[in-house]
Amino acid sequence: MNRFSYARPDTLTAAIQALAHPGARAIAGGTNLIDLMKYSVEVPSQLVDITHLPFAKIELLPDGGLRVGALVKNTDAAYDARIGESYPLLADAILSGASPQLRNAATTGGNLLQRTRCYYFYDTATPCNKRQPGSGCSAIGGTNRVHAILGTSADCIATHPSDMCVALAALEAVVQVSGPEGDRSILFSDFHRLPGAEPDKDTSLQPGEIITSVDLPAQHFSSNYTYLKLRDRASYAFALVSIAVALEMEGATIKAARIALGGVAHKPWRVPAAEEALAGQTPGSEVFGKAADLMLAGAQGQPGNRFKIALARKAIVRALKQAANGTPQHATDKQIQ
Amino acid sequence: MQDVILGTSVELPQAVMQSVSLNLTVNGQQREFVVEPWTTLLDLLRHEMDLTGTKKGCDHGQCGACTVLIDGRRMNSCLALAVMQDGKTVTTVEGLAAPDGTLSPIQAAFIEHDAFQCGYCTPGQLCSATALLQEGHAHTPEEIRELMSGNLCRCGAYPNIVDAITQVLAQAATPEVA
């Protein structure tokens, strides 16, 4: 690991000041940053330990939503009674990711800021536009089983690896941040970005800004939801394709639908047209298939990951059925119902 | 380290602060250390305390061999900076047995069920299983497998590990007859 100085501020103002130091990086759970430092992918000159800041609480918001502090551990969010009752989609997504050890260390804010698991991003002996802008993309024309099929660019086909963020996208969470210019709220769909010509930029977070909380809106979707994750082994692996579905039902009719895909793009993937096509419909294979086709419009595979297009289509249809039937997939259940 | 292929020199920044003092309670013993900020808890335990039960497997949070309990919670000590653990309580595999050497229930069950072959992953498995039993989220073999997925065993002792944990869970669930 490289040499760095260490700061442990206990106020937000001091943390923001410390992060102004060139090459400074915030650290909380450290499960991704320390790993990347061991590979010399991240080489910070100063680590700002933000774990002493007061953002480790889960609080009710006046509008009936829930504020999940940036420093709340993944484990504590997943097993929180209020989240389990009101946002089971989020709890299920968190529990399908990583391992208990990592969830005990990893934080809410850090989950949003984790980097891609593209093999070439980690391998400093190979070109990678995300790690070294302008050097090229080794995944295009290389080994690309885990890579993106939607929203890619000629410079990058990396995916965002989070499960939690797929649920947060479907729930339309809001990211609260503080920085040198003050506080601002970022809609979840605007937080992560597509690679375009600047794949080194994962998010819309500005230099010196830190996440203080992730706010969940009052609409819960606690009855008709599912998080379905497909991967190369039964547990403790990143998604090849994952899907969060949240439906609002009115009798036997879908009133509103939210669908987000993971493992297929540089950010959790949503398509408003697919969700709108489900509104007012009666659940059924044909209706779900049409929504799946709209979700995957424009999908483009690489030789190693073309299978993801068919896999994602079937996963969307299956997940919509699970959600409509009120039979969510559980992380422990290795049979897809 | 130099990134040779890309021709970009990754200069190692000068550290402003070379060493930091911290207090840790490890297996019931309070200790003060002065460490460089880039020292992981795993390296501190193994090199400074000679507690070599905790293993360095992958050193990247993928295998679980370095699992210890920090304030009672299982964590990968390879991904934890020592300086960030100031004031915390750490339990390693060396701290699981009673001071008189009596094995903990899960340690005894691992022996009874032959829940290891080469033994390299065992300290991490034991710490992880100890926490799993305290967490209370696993009730079935399926749930045990899912919640032990952060500990790899390349010998493939998984069925016996699950049996050992299942037995201790059942013991804990059975009220003792006076």
Distance, in Å, from the CA atom of A264 to the CA atom of A169, rounded to the nearest integer, reads: 14
The CA distances from residue A12 to A18, A202, A205, B139, in Å, are 10, 23, 16, 41
The mean per-residue pLDDT over the stretch A8-20 comes to: 95
Please judge whether B83 and A105 are an interchain contact, meaning their C-beta atoms are less than 8 angstroms apart: no
Residue A202 one-letter amino acid: D
> Angle at Cα A187 formed by Cα A30 and Cα A273, nearest 5°?
120
Q: Does the distance separating the beta carbons of A104 and B37 come in below 8 Å?
A: no
Q: Does B56 touch chain A (CB under 8 A)?
A: no
Query: Which overall architecture, per CATH, does domain A224-325 show?
Result: 2-Layer Sandwich (3.30)
What residues does CATH 3.30.43.10 cover in chain A?
A: 5-51
Decide if B71 touches A, using CB distance below 8 A.
no
List CB contacts (< 8 A) between B67 and chain A.
Answer: 101
pLDDT tens by residue, B55-91 = 999 999 999 999 999 999 999 999 999 999 999 999 9
Nearest to B64 among A2, A23, A101 (CB): A101
pLDDT at A21: 87
Residue contacts between A and B (CB atoms, under 8 Å): 121
Answer whether B142 sits within 8 Å of A79, measured CB to CB. no
Give me the CATH code for the B105-173 domain, please.
1.10.150.120
C-alpha–C-alpha distance, residues B49 and B30, integer Å: 12
Cα–Cα dist A313/A309, whole Å: 6
SS3 A59: strand
Q: Domain A5-51 carries which CATH code?
A: 3.30.43.10
Separation in Å, CA A75 to CA A125, B9, B21: 35, 39, 29
Domain B20-95 fold is Ubiquitin-like (UB roll) (3.10.20)
How does pLDDT run across B34-58, given as a tens digit for each residue? 999 999 999 999 999 999 999 999 9
- In chain B, alpha helices (H): 41-43, 105-112, 122-135, 141-147, 158-173
- The answer to whether residue B142 neighbours chain A at the CB level (below 8 Å) is yes
Contact A35 B61 (CB under 8 A): yes
Nearest to A245 by CA among A228, A233, A220: A228
Residue with tokens 């799993």: B132
Q: Is A63 exposed, middle or buried (0-12, 13-18, 19+ CB in 10 A)?
A: exposed
Task: State both tokens at A5.
Answer: 């100085």
Name the B residues in 155-174 with CB < 8 Å from any A CB.
none
- Residues 6 or more apart from B1 whose CB is under 8 A from it? A2, A40, A124, B10, B12
* Per-residue confidence band for B7, with pLDDT thresholds at 50, 70 and 90: very low
Residue B54: which of B69, B40, B68, B44 has the closest Cα? B68
| pLDDT bracket for residue B175 (50, 70, 90) | low
A27-41, A43-57, B4-18, B120-134: segment of lowest average pLDDT:
B4-18
Residue A82 near residue A41, CB atoms below 8 Å: no
Q: What is the pLDDT of residue A337?
A: 83
Residues above pLDDT 90, as percent of chain A: 97
- Residue in A45, A43, A49 with CA at minimum distance from that of residue A14: A49
CA distance A248 to chain B (A): 29
**What residue ranges of chain A are covered by domains with CATH 3.30.390.50?**
224-325
Asked if A40 lies within 8 A of B147 by C-beta distance, the reply is no
Direct distance between the N- and C-terminal alpha carbons of chain B, in angstroms, rounded to an integer: 64
Sign of torsion, CA A130 A131 A132 A135?
A: negative
DSSP 8-state code for residue B52: T
Scanning every residue of chain A, which has its alpha carbon at the shortest distance from the alpha carbon of B85?
A: A51
Going by C-alpha positions, the residue among A110, A108, A127 that lies closest to residue A34 is A110
> Residue A128: beta bridge partners?
A137
Two structure tokens written together for A242:
């994952």
**Is A132 within 8 Å of B142 when comparing Cβ atoms?**
no
- How much is the ipTM here? 0.96
Domain residue spans in chain B?
20-95, 105-173
CB contacts, 8 Å: A102 with chain B? 61, 76, 79, 150
